[in-house]
Amino acid sequence: MTDSGRTWLGRTLGTALVAYAVVMYIHLGLSGEFGVDWALPFELCHWVLIACVVTLFSPNQLASEIAYFWGLGGTLQAVLTPDLGAGYPSWDFVMFFWGHGVTLLAIVFLIAGGTFRPRRSSVLRMFLALNVYGVVAGLIDTSFGWNYGYLRQKPLRPSLLDYFGPWPWYLLSIEVMAPVMFFILLLPWLLVDRFKKPNSQHR
């Protein structure tokens, strides 16, 4: 794909994500369904979506890392075990897979485009950033009785968190699993570097 074609595709994906957010909030406003306890952009997936939009329109290392590590670590799991009360063709179903689906496509585009490359320090940086998010979202949840990030209660529908124990133990399990998962996501680049070095020396 040419550079112009890659740029066009990236901006198309970014526009689709922005359009999703606009349509969602217009619908919530017109229908009177907007609730501050669940509709504010405080979920981890919201930050992944924002990071995707930022890096699709203006490539940015930090935003790219959030999109890749948090996206494949969290958004992918959300798609596999969606916390939905109604199936297709309900509005919630369509909007959920619009936002999450295009987010995953954006991450695939990011990987396939060849411009994104995580660093060895990315695992620690993303783990620390995840904890900053947890502290901020936790303070908001505790102050107002909300449940952003599922920090006070697991999803009502079956999810991966069901295997991590009851509250608060599943939060501690995430603390252990997150850096392991981030390292696994970094591993392909480490392996590519390892196999490239002998070839470079041979030349």
Residues 119-135 have pLDDT tens digits of: 989 999 999 999 999 99
On average, the pLDDT of the chain sits at: 90
Q: How far is CA 74 from CA 6, 60, 125, in A?
A: 26, 20, 16
pLDDT at 203 (0 to 100): 47
Q: What is the pLDDT of residues 38-84, one digit of tens each?
A: 999 999 999 999 999 999 999 899 999 999 999 998 888 888 888 78
Q: Is the pLDDT of residue 2 over 90?
A: no
The answer to whether 71 touches 48, Cβ cutoff 8 Å, is yes
* Sign of CA pseudo-dihedral 178, 189, 18, 104: negative
The span from the CA of 39 to the CA of 53, in Å, is 19
Tokens of 82: 């969606």
The span from the CA of 15 to the CA of 27, in Å, is 18
Tokens of 124: 């620690």
- Kindly state the average pLDDT of the residues 146-172: 92
The pTM assigned to this predicted structure is: 0.90
- Kindly state the average pLDDT of the residues 25-42: 94
Q: Is the pLDDT of residue 200 over 60?
A: no
The span from the CA of 116 to the CA of 108, in Å, is 11
| Domain positions in the chain | 3-202
Residue where the block lists tokens 């990011």: 110
Phi-psi region of 56 (alpha: psi -120 to 50; beta: other; left: phi over 0): alpha
Taking Cα atoms as reference points, which of 135, 133, 151 lies closest to residue 50?
Answer: 133
Q: What is the pLDDT of residues 133-143, one digit of tens each?
A: 999 999 999 99
The span from the CA of 126 to the CA of 34, in Å, is 31
The answer to whether 125 touches 183, Cβ cutoff 8 Å, is no
Tokens of 76: 């992918």
